[in-house]
Amino acid sequence: MAVTLRLARHGSTHRPFYHVVAADSRKARNGRYLEKLGYYNPNTNPSVVVLKEDRVQHWYGNGATLSNAVDKLIKAKSIKLGRNTTK
């Protein structure tokens, strides 16, 4: 299974709110996910980003890929990521 860390959109029209999730890359954007890792609210000034850093590192370390948007959020939060080399 190819796992991707990506955003799932919630909220109403013109008022987006996103959950950061670990999901199978073949599932729909707002479909079933494996684990919720945090959220992103772009409606506030400044934008609010909350992430479970240990779980993000866990999924990335076990081979999950990052979407472009989640990659930018992780860099904004200054989270260090590394691949798990031991199995």
Nearest Cα residue to 5 out of 66, 53, 79, 60:
66
From edge to edge, which strands make up the β-sheet containing 48-51? 48-51, 35-41, 15-24, 3-12, 65-66
User: What is the mean predicted confidence (pLDDT) over 36-44?
Assistant: 95
Between 86 and 38, whose confidence is greater?
A: 38
Q: Cα separations (Å) of 6 from 29, 50, 63, 87?
A: 8, 14, 14, 25
Give me the pLDDT at residue 85, please: 56
Confidence of residue 53 (pLDDT cuts 50, 70, 90): very high
First and final CA of the chain: distance in angstroms?
17
Residue 87 has pLDDT above 70, yes or no: no
Residue-wise pLDDT tens digits, 65-74: 999 999 999 9
Architecture label for domain 3-76: 2-Layer Sandwich (3.30)
Residue 39's CB is within 10 A of a number of other CB atoms, namely: 17
